[in-house]
């Protein structure tokens, strides 16, 4: 038995119609009124790969928000170009409160990098309304266990003695782990070579394998390796010492006026109605105070560092100036 | 050794609890489905199900998510063999000889061999993981950028064995792939290259849309222009099973694929993608009948399918022993552990022995489950081919579009896939083989990155590639392979590649 012949048109049309129907059965979207917001699912854009810094905060956040607003909150991953793709998507989304953005510290740098290259920025900080900061993890400068340095001073002395001999790794050029190192190197006047990698994980791998000697990492990401003694913390980037690293001095104590946090915040596109923004702020405030959210943040090694819109705005403005400064100090890299 | 056995017994006491077994089974089942659906690979599958695990304890969560990962390597072979649609990047090589076997009516046999090969490789991988994870983890760390560069150069040398067409056509396709791989942000300087102001192109062209487009859509588009013969209509059970001769042909490639895949899999930096390409080339290099490849060689299915399974298990070595991710999938698995309050790191095994050994033991069980799940389904899967193409193909196109969109929620990816479908159709018309193109696209960005990273490390001195022993050995191997080819060329011995070129010339005349 064998079935021979060309595909006939009628059969093809039926098959195609079935497929087309199945694809168009998406959620219908009606007009949104600010008063009874939200009346349908809210989408939160995660601009990084699954399991990344914004994702691990957004998912527990969404699961608590859902219980408060009685509507689903969906995390949609739009990763690409180190977070620029997702941010641009959110900036251009309809400002009705149904598309939000969970982004990190690096959101401030994209426009400055574009300016550096003479490109027209695809979006700027003004395209977003800050709603709240959820966590803020101070970064830590670590060296691997094959290096002799016990203090930041020893590291600096060696780096000064052998300019361009030491190497630091990062999550990528102008990335969230490149910027704090650039701030420090500029302040200390050191020449250390940069080894960009494809993300936070590969950056740690390069350090452990001694393909780089130093790295600025978030405390949470480095804690396992610090506990195992594979990497040694030399200095923290927080305003005060971190509770989990009481013996590690801050950059400020060591004489550098540098602060840098890997923070995660919630944003709405510019033009979102005030009533919706107010509602989102109320919901967020309620969410971060729940035990469920606090416990979820404990699990990923974080404390809730909530800032409501006004304080977040002040913090973000100051933070963005530091970031833009860092981008300019890196400048254009000659390849 | 005794301590290992004790620990493993502890692990099995966890893994064999009914509730943990259930989640392992769900993971394996979802993984099989995810692998079969074109476009949706293990990464998308795991991220979709990550929120579901919030309510579970850490052991169940990791057992289920890992099941999706290695289960998808089983499922990936099904659509590749039956319909020439790679479920994900690792099964591209299976498309070639697997689909050729289907057209000869040996689709069932190819599926059986793929399932058994996957089982052998998966189990081999877990045994190695149990016995020698810590020293292997230390070895994996010695693979820095220079070693990785050398490995990829070896992959490029192997390109010559990659295709059933002549060397000229193979290299032409590979060059196109390498050029496509240059699209995206320059990782060292931040310049956009060939992105035409489309931010989605900043990370380059994805492998999945290209592979699904070139192979799957290309095949579907070329179907209406030729007379279709569905030979497999009512397969008898006996015909589904591989013959004795086919088993004999498959045995050695499965063994080699397992070892090669595992070794490549433990290297940090997404090396596991190239494991199936390397295995295919190795089998062809060793084969006495290299010209049979591309026309349904059993070794061309057995080797790569085993290699990608062993590689996915090997990828757990750095994750479990060192707390370091080898690629995006292991990064998500580590995040899953983190969300459950278990920071992955070198101390995972001492601080959370239940999770660690329960997870390892669950992989022994999971591989058995997958074999039991996949073998009886072979008959069912083959029957899918009985659906008339007029109904089947529009559905497949739909699955391709949904699957490719789902990976990054990017409509640009869908357009890339559709455009590649047309390219794939043209390539088929003109008898070009798309596999070298895909390999070029896979290798270009990671080769560029590791090469330039190496030069940053050496401050611009190329000597770094001969000073580091592993890199030097790999490069020496490349040189030997090239020298052997050159020698046969000088002696004017016409090898199989020359015969292929002559055949192509003859066709055109």
> What is the pLDDT, as a whole number, of residue A3?
45
Burial class (CB in 10 A: 0-12, 13-18, 19+), A71: middle
Tell whether the model's pLDDT for residue A200 goes beyond 90.
Answer: no
Tell whether the model's pLDDT for residue A160 goes beyond 90.
Answer: yes
What mean pLDDT is predicted for residues A198-204? 87
Which of A3, A76, A204 has the CB atom closest to B324's CB atom? A204
Q: At what angle do helices B42-49 and B389-408 cross, to 10 degrees?
A: 70
Q: Chain B 20-59, CB below 8 Å of chain A: which residues?
A: 43, 46-47, 50-51, 54
Chain B residue numbers touching A199 (CB-CB < 8 A): 331
pLDDT, tens digit (0-9, with 9 covering 90-100), for B453-480: 999 999 889 999 999 999 999 999 999 9
Q: Chain A 290-319, CB below 8 Å of chain B: which residues?
A: 296, 298-301
Q: Does domain A138-236 have CATH number 3.50.50.60?
A: no
The residue among B228, B409, B411 with the most chain A CBs within 10 A of its CB, best to mutate, is B409
Percent of chain B with pLDDT over 90: 41
Chain A residue numbers touching B389 (CB-CB < 8 A): 7
Range from A117-121, A170-174, B25-29, B388-392 carrying the lowest mean pLDDT? B388-392
Sign of the CA dihedral B121, B126, B131, B133? Answer: positive
Q: Please give the backbone phi and psi of residue B147, each rounded to the nearest 5 degrees, phi first.
A: -65, -40
- Residue B376: count other Cβ atoms within 10 Å of its Cβ: 9
Q: Is B369 on the interface with A (CB under 8 A)?
A: no
The residue among A1, A6, A13, A15 with the most chain B CBs within 10 A of its CB, best to mutate, is A15
pLDDT, tens digit (0-9, with 9 covering 90-100), for B342-351: 887 888 888 8
- Residue B426: count other Cβ atoms within 10 Å of its Cβ: 13
Chain B residue numbers touching A11 (CB-CB < 8 A): 388, 390-391
Range from A33-47, A207-221, A276-290 carrying the lowest mean pLDDT? A33-47
Q: Chain A 256-285, CB below 8 Å of chain B: which residues?
A: none
How near does any CA of chain B get to the CA of A191, in Å?
13
Tell whether the model's pLDDT for residue B185 goes beyond 90.
Answer: no
Chain A residue numbers touching B345 (CB-CB < 8 A): 223-225, 227-228
Triad B286, B287, B288: Cα angle to 5°: 120
Q: How far is residue A171's CA from residue A177's CA, in Å, rounded to a whole number?
A: 6
Chain A residue numbers touching B266 (CB-CB < 8 A): none
Q: Please report which residue ranges of chain A form alpha helices under DSSP H.
A: 9-24, 53-69, 84-91, 110-116, 152-161, 178-188, 200-208, 219-227, 274-288, 291-299, 309-330
pLDDT, tens digit (0-9, with 9 covering 90-100), for B98-138: 999 988 888 889 999 999 999 999 999 999 998 888 788 88
Domain enclosing residue B7, as ranges: 2-508
Q: Is B345 on the interface with A (CB under 8 A)?
A: yes
Which of B145, B190, B229 has the CB atom closest to A113's CB atom? B190
Any long-range contacts for B55-59 (C-beta under 8 Å, 24+ apart)? B56/B23, B57/B340, B58/B337, B58/B340, B58/B341, B58/B342, B58/B352, B58/B355, B59/B14, B59/B20, B59/B354, B59/B355, B59/B358, B59/B359
Question: pTM of the prediction?
Answer: 0.87
A42-46 and A99-104 as β-strands: parallel, antiparallel, unpaired?
Answer: parallel
pLDDT, tens digit (0-9, with 9 covering 90-100), for A12-54: 556 555 555 555 444 444 444 567 889 999 999 999 887 788 9
How near does any CA of chain A get to the CA of B400, in Å?
11
Chain A residue numbers touching B203 (CB-CB < 8 A): 79-81, 85
Q: Is B202 on the interface with A (CB under 8 A)?
A: yes
Q: Is A199 on the interface with B (CB under 8 A)?
A: yes
N- to C-terminal Cα distance for chain B? 66
> What is the pLDDT, as a whole number, of residue A30?
43
Q: Mean pLDDT for chain B?
A: 87
Tell me if B199 and A76 make a contact (CB, 8 A cut-off): no
Q: Mean pLDDT for chain A?
A: 88
Which of A6, A11, A79 has the CB atom closest to B408's CB atom? A79
Tell whether the model's pLDDT for residue B388 goes beyond 90.
Answer: no
Range from A3-17, B101-115, B248-262 carrying the lowest mean pLDDT? A3-17
Of residues B59, B334, B338, B51, the one with CA closest to residue A297: B338
> What is the pLDDT, as a whole number, of residue B291?
83
Tell me the β-bridge partners of B185.
B192
At the topology level, CATH places domain A42-136+261-330 in D-Maltodextrin-Binding Protein; domain 2 (3.40.190)
Chain A residue numbers touching B451 (CB-CB < 8 A): none
pLDDT, tens digit (0-9, with 9 covering 90-100), for B212-228: 999 989 988 988 777 66
Tell me if A300 and B339 make a contact (CB, 8 A cut-off): yes
Which of B233, B336, B459 has the CB atom closest to A1's CB atom? B233
How near does any CA of chain A get to the CA of B43, in Å?
8
Chain B residue numbers touching A135 (CB-CB < 8 A): none
Which of A7, A81, A193 has the CB atom closest to B185's CB atom? A81
How does residue A300 score in pLDDT terms, banded at 50, 70 and 90?
Answer: confident
Tell me if B188 and A196 make a contact (CB, 8 A cut-off): yes
Collapse the DSSP code of A307 into the 3-class scheme (helix H, G, I; strand E, B; otherwise coil) and give the result: strand
Domain count, chain B: 1
> What is the pLDDT, as a whole number, of residue A4?
45
How near does any CA of chain B get to the CA of A174, in Å?
8
B52 versus B443: the higher-pLDDT residue is: B443
Q: How far is residue B231's CA from residue B235's CA, in Å, rounded to a whole number?
A: 9
Fold matches, A42-136+261-330 and A138-236: yes
How does residue B235 score in pLDDT terms, banded at 50, 70 and 90?
Answer: low
> What is the pLDDT, as a whole number, of residue B76?
83
Chain B residue numbers touching A4 (CB-CB < 8 A): 227-230
Q: Is B199 on the interface with A (CB under 8 A)?
A: yes
Which of B143, B189, B459 has the CB atom closest to A164's CB atom? B459
Q: Where are the domains of chain A?
A: 42-136+261-330, 138-236
Residue of B nearest to A79 (CA): B408
Both structure tokens of B479? 């040189």
């Amino acid at each position: 038995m064998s079935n021979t012949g060309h595909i006939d048109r009628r059969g093809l049309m039926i098959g195609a119609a079935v497929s087309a129907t199945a694809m168009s059965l998406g959620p219908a979207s009606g007009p949104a009124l600010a008063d009874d917001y939200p009346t349908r699912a809210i989408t939160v854009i995660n601009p990084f790969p699954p399991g990344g810094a914004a994702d691990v905060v957004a998912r527990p956040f969404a699961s608590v928000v859902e219980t408060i607003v009685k509507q689903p909150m969906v995390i949609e991953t739009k990763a690409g170009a180190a977070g620029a793709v997702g941010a641009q998507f959110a900036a251009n989304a309809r400002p009705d409160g149904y598309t939000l953005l969970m982004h990190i510290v690096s959101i401030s740098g994209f426009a400055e990098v574009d300016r550096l290259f003479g490109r027209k920025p695809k979006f700027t900080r003004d395209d977003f309304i800050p709603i709240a900061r959820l966590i803020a993890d101070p970064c830590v400068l670590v060296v691997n266990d094959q290096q002799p340095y016990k203090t930041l001073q020893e590291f600096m002395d060696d780096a000064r003695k052998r300019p361009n001999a030491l190497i630091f790794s990062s999550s990528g050029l102008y990335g969230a782990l490149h910027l704090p190192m650039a701030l420090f190197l500029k302040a200390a006047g050191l020449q250390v070579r940069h080894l960009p990698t494809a993300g936070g994980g590969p950056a740690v791998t390069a350090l452990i394998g001694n393909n780089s000697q130093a790295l600025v990492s978030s405390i949470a990401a480095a804690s396992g390796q610090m506990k195992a003694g594979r990497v040694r913390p030399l200095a923290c980037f927080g305003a005060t010492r971190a509770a989990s690293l009481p013996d590690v001095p801050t950059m400020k104590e060591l004489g550098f006026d540098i602060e840098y946090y890997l923070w995660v915040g919630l944003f709405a596109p510019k033009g979102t109605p005030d009533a919706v923004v107010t509602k989102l702020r109320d919901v967020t405030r309620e969410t971060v105070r729940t035990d469920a959210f606090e416990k979820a943040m404990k699990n990923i090694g974080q404390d809730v560092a909530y800032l409501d819109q006004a304080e977040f705005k002040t913090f973000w403005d100051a933070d963005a100036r530091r970031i833009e400064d860092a981008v300019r100090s890196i400048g254009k890299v000659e390849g | 050794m005794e301590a290992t056995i004790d620990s493993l017994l502890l692990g099995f006491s966890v893994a064999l609890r009914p509730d943990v077994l259930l989640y392992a089974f769900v993971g394996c089942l979802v993984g099989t489905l995810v692998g079969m659906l074109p476009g949706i690979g293990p990464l998308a599958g795991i991220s979709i199900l990550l929120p579901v695990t919030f309510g579970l304890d850490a052991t169940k969560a990791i057992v289920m998510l890992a099941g999706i990962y290695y289960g998808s390597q089983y499922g990936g072979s099904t659509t590749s063999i039956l319909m020439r649609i790679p479920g994900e990047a690792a099964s591209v090589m299976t498309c070639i000889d697997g689909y050729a076997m289907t057209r000869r009516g040996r689709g069932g046999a190819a599926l059986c061999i793929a399932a058994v090969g996957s089982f052998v490789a998966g189990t081999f991988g877990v045994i190695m993981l149990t016995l020698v994870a810590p020293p292997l983890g230390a070895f994996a760390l010695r693979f820095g950028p220079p070693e990785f560069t050398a490995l990829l150069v070896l992959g490029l040398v192997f390109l010559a064995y990659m295709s059933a067409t002549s060397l000229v056509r193979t290299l032409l396709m590979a060059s196109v792939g390498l050029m496509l791989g240059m699209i995206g942000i320059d990782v060292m300087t931040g310049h956009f290259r060939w992105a035409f102001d489309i931010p989605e192109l900043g990370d380059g062209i994805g492998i999945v849309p290209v592979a699904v487009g070139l192979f799957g859509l290309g095949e579907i588009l070329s179907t209406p222009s030729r007379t279709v013969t569905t030979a497999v209509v009512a397969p008898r059970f006996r015909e589904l099973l591989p013959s004795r001769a086919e088993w004999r042909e498959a045995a050695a490639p499965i063994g080699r694929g397992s070892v090669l895949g595992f070794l490549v899999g433990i290297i940090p930096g997404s090396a596991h993608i190239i494991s199936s390409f390397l295995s295919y080339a190795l089998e062809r290099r060793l084969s006495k009948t290299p010209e049979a490849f591309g026309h349904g060689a059993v070794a061309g299915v057995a080797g790569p399918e085993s290699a990608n399974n062993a590689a996915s298990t090997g990828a757990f070595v750095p994750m479990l022993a060192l707390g370091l991710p080898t690629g995006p999938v292991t990064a998500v698995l580590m995040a899953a552990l983190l969300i459950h309050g278990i920071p992955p790191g070198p101390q995972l095994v001492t601080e959370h022995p239940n999770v660690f050994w329960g997870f390892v033991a669950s992989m022994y069980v999971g591989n058995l489950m997958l074999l039991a799940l996949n073998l009886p389904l072979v008959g069912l899967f083959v029957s899918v081919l009985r659906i008339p193409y007029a109904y089947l193909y529009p559905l497949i196109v739909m699955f391709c579009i949904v699957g490719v969109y789902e990976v990054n929620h990017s409509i640009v990816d869908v357009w890339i896939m559709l455009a590649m479908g047309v390219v794939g159709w043209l390539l088929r018309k003109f008898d070009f083989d798309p596999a070298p193109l895909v390999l070029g696209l896979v290798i270009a960005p990671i080769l560029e990155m590791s090469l330039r990273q190496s030069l940053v490390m050496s401050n611009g001195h190329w000597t770094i590639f001969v000073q580091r022993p592993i890199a030097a050995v790999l490069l020496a191997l490349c040189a030997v392979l090239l020298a052997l080819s050159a020698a046969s060329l000088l002696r004017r011995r016409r090898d199989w590649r020359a015969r292929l070129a002559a055949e192509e010339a003859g066709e055109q005349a």
